[in-house]
Amino acid sequence: MDRNKIQELLERVRSGKTGIDEAMLALRTLPYEDIGFAVTDSHRSLRTGYPEAVYCKGKTIDQITGIVEKLSQNHRTIIATKATEEIYEAVKKMHPAAAYHMKARLILIGETQAVGSANTILVITAGTSDIPVAEEAAVTAEVMGNRVERLFDVGVAGIHRLFDRVETLFAANVIIVAAGMDGALPSIIGGLVDKPVIAVPTSVGYGASFEGLSALLAMLNTCSPGVVAVNIDNGFGAGFFAGMINQGGA
């Protein structure tokens, strides 16, 4: 149940349109509900003010649609991450207005929050192969009501591409950098700017990259202050955290 619904319920109780027993019944699902294969959080948007998310990888389509259906009773906005087109088609049957962001592999059910800050989040990739994870971060931040700019394929193999866009780099309030291979780009950017840098290691690279582990360790071992790292391919986590910083919540 989101904040608007709680407020509406309290207004109805105050006006006498809804009785105490009826209101108590409406609040019974707080803070969670057990649906057998999942325990859905019906209270996250009230606690945090941000959308609920469903991680799709590893779940069956029936499980995903069941979770989404239950969450949609209490949340105005739901994000489904690591989603395939097949999952989207199943969700769309229940929620025709659902939108699929193919590059981000992300489904949006419900509303995008109004832009809450004039500050900009800049999402950067080292290479083109990093774009899906970067787009997951970018779309997540946009859904949370942030202005987002993108700067793709400016990695260390041709660092002059980044230096040609330094004005964009310096104008950002928060920077997300998605990189696989050697994972070096966040360290370089962290040494140039005076704003927070969120490094996202991606599972891009040849065998010795160990599906992103090499990039993750490089980012954790950065000597540039102001750089933090999220988990491998965790664009959602990076976009969420960047949004909190950008709107003064962290």
What digits encode the pLDDT tens for the residues 223-247?
A: 999 999 999 999 999 999 999 999 8
The CA distance from 114 to 77, in Å, is 12
Are the CB atoms for 245 and 122 separated by under 8 Å?
no
Distance of CA 117 to the CA centre of its chain: 17
179 inside domain: yes
The DSSP secondary structure of 27-54, one letter per residue, reads TTT-SEEE-SS-EEESSHHHHHSS-EEE
In a domain, 56, yes or no: yes
pLDDT in the model for residue 232: 97
Do 127 and 75 fall within a single domain? no
Query: Are both 136 and 48 inside the same structural domain?
Result: no
Same structural domain, 169 and 239: yes
- 100/164 same-domain check: no
Residues whose CB falls within 8 Å of the CB of residue 170, separated by 6 or more in sequence, listed in order: 193
Cβ neighbours, 10 Å, residue 29: 15
CB 235 within 8 A of CB 104: yes
pLDDT at 6: 73
Residue 115 in any domain: the answer is no
- pLDDT at residue 41, rounded to an integer: 61
Choose the final residue of a domain: 110, 137, 159. Answer: 110
Residues 102 and 131 both lie in one domain: no
**147 & 234 share domain:** yes
Q: Is residue 141 part of a domain?
A: yes
Residue at which a domain ends, from 89, 110, 131:
110
pLDDT at 19: 85
Count of structural domains within the chain: 2
**Does the residue 99 lie in any domain?**
yes
Residues 142, 100 share a domain: no
Domain C-terminal end among 51, 85, 110: 110
* Size (the chain), residues: 250
Q: Rounded to whole angstroms, how far apart are CA atoms 149 and 173?
A: 11
- Say if residue 169 is in the same domain as residue 104: no
User: What per-residue confidence (pLDDT) applies to 21?
Assistant: 82
Structural domain range at position 213: 120-246
Q: Are residues 93 and 46 in the same domain?
A: yes
- Residue 212 sits in the same domain as residue 128: yes
Specify whether 189 is located in the same domain as 106: no
Sign of CA dihedral 73, 75, 80, 86: positive
Domain co-membership, 97 together with 159: no
pLDDT computed for residue 17 by the predictor: 85
Spans of the chain, pLDDT less than 70: 1-4, 25-49, 74, 249-250
